[in-house]
Structure 1
């Protein structure tokens, strides 16, 4: 879990404890008033569990401070707006998250991205995307609205052909070999990448496995103009819009980009990966 997320959750828990103590109640008293297990009160106050908006409203009422409910819910919204659990985002399937990505792309002129283990969604073929959504639905045990998600992802790619937009992506060479789909699907996906290199709206670079690096690629991330960075982890998607984080990820992207190759060199690396898949 992100340290920033946990710090914010601990701070919210400390505020709950403060309100309880101001009311002269102990944990057992709050639990009885709310009909909760005592352990839930403890987990919330120590930042080991994320409360729901309903939890916070009920807490404020139980400690005699209904006026504090707005403040508490505001803290929760701030926490969840940056750190969005996949469990909640994908509760109804993948399509809703893809619609959100479509809106973000529409509102953005420059997208810079780094991917270390997969092909960027904006560059995926329908078959590659289909296998990605299928695998993710199985892993996360969420509804399988795969075809709707694929259609939305393909609609999002229309932005690649809009004048005035620019998509600058660095893909680690390893991602060209990661098989999350059948070999023939990956071969077609690599063909798609080669075709995109010639677009005036796309700058696709490949970071060679043997490149000399000043910083090793640790995870993928996308930068939307200079207003937001989106980072995916196993359980959470982080939406970071503060200046400090934006500058940090811009530096990380620049370091990857300076070591990457593009144009004919990138084509050769993609062709080498394609040839190895065809021979295999």
Structure 2
């Protein structure tokens, strides 16, 4: 996790500790506060040390437990500042995947030049409904989140209308491994690869595939999107990172450029996709 993120958690933790230690009614020990709010003492310690990010409910309990309910607004503003850059899946998916898809749809609508990198699956904006359905179902199981699969699929399909918007340009790169990953039934992957073949040559889309045999300047790693080279969204197993500071964005621009040097385009990309399709048929 980024140093800035950890520092922000520690700053929030120090503010919580200050509320407990400097409360108008006299200092509370961590054990006393824990007893008041019904927590284990270790939770108070983790929050104050920045080892655990509080929820809004945690902050309300902390403020009320120290007899300073008016402090909640300040604490919550600090939390929202952190979460504007680090959005945990646990919070984002509390009501299902649809809300996350809507957030991405908004950013896609705003941007004119979009760059995407994916190493492990077909990227969302190119997915068929059945492929997307498999992905959402698997992630709902992983994250123990509500299964609003059909609503999430519909939102993802709505995003794909942007591919036909001539005012936008999509520069997309995938590792060849994503073409072979059986994260769905083979018949679904077959239809997905057929759909992907049709993407090559679209006027708004530049699709690159990095062959497994390609020489790589850097290891293929975490998926990310860049919007107008001003904002980057990085997906990890536990959270999305929304980055807009210049040094971070510049790092991802360099990463993008290095990845693109290993990709093939046009007819060569079409051939890689077709080979993956034939390999899938031979497996069946």
Q: CA deviation at 1:65?
A: 5.2
Distance in 2 between the 1:261 and 1:15 partners? 51
TM-score, normalising length: structure 1: 0.92
Distance 1:272 1:143, change over 3 A: same
Give the Å deviation of 1:84.
Answer: 1.1
Q: Distance in 2 between matches of 1:130 and 1:27?
A: 46
| In structure 2, C-alpha distance between the alignment counterparts of 1:29 and 1:278, rounded to whole Å | 65
Instruction: Report what 1:13 is aligned to.
Output: 13
TM-score (norm 2): 0.91
Alpha-carbon distance change, 92 to 64 in structure 1, aligned in 2, over 3 angstroms: closer
C-alpha separation in 2, matches of 1:146 and 1:123: 17
Secondary structure, in 3 states, of the residue corresponding to 2:225?
strand
1:42 paired residue among 45, 62, 67: 45
Structure 1 residue 173 corresponds to structure 2 residue 167: no
1:3 Cα deviation after fit: 4.8
Larger CA deviation: 173-182 vs 2-11: 2-11
Using the TM superposition, give the Cα deviation of residue 147 of structure 1 relative to its aligned residue in structure 2, in angstroms. 1.6
Q: Does 1:146 align with 2:154?
A: no
CA apart distance, 1:247: 0.9
Unaligned runs of 5+ in 2: none
The answer for the alignment partner of 2:85 in structure 1 is 82
Equivalent position SS for 1:167: strand
Give the whole-Å Cα distance in 1 for the aligned partners of 2:155 and 2:249.
Answer: 27
Task: Confirm or deny that 1:278 pairs with 2:281.
Answer: yes
For the residues of structure 2 that align with 1:137 and 1:60, how far apart are their CA atoms? 33
| 1:6-48 alpha-carbon deviations (Å, 9 max, x no partner) | 3321221122223333333332343344454322211211122
Q: Is the aligned partner of 1:205 residue 2:208?
A: yes
Name the CA shift for 1:54/1:147 in 2 (closer, same or farther; >3 Å): closer
Higher mean C-alpha displacement, 12-21 vs 234-243? 12-21
1:26 corresponds in structure 2 to 29
Correspondences of 1:40-119 after superposition (within 5 Å)? 40-63=43-66, 68-119=71-122
Say whether residues 1:125 and 2:131 are aligned partners: no
Post-superposition Cα deviations, 1:205-227, rounded to whole Å, max 9, x if no partner, equal 01122222221111111111133
2:229 is matched with 226
Say whether residues 1:186 and 2:189 are aligned partners.
yes
SS in 2 for 1:253: helix
Report the 3-state secondary structure (helix = DSSP H, G, I; strand = E; otherwise coil) of the residue aligned with 1:256.
Answer: helix
Report the secondary structure of 1:275's partner residue. Answer: helix
Q: Deviations over 1:187-241 (max 9, x none)?
A: 2211111111111100000112222222111111111113321111111111112
Q: Distance in 1 between matches of 2:123 and 2:281?
A: 22
Q: Give the match's secondary structure for 1:259.
A: coil
Gaps of 5+ in 1: none
1: CA distance between counterparts of 2:38 and 2:233? 38
How far apart in 1 are the matches of 2:251 and 2:243? Answer: 11
Deviation at 1:174, TM superposition (A): 0.9
Are 2:252 and 1:249 aligned? yes
**Cα deviation code 1:108-155 (max 9, x no counterpart):** 111101100011100011111111112222222222221221121111
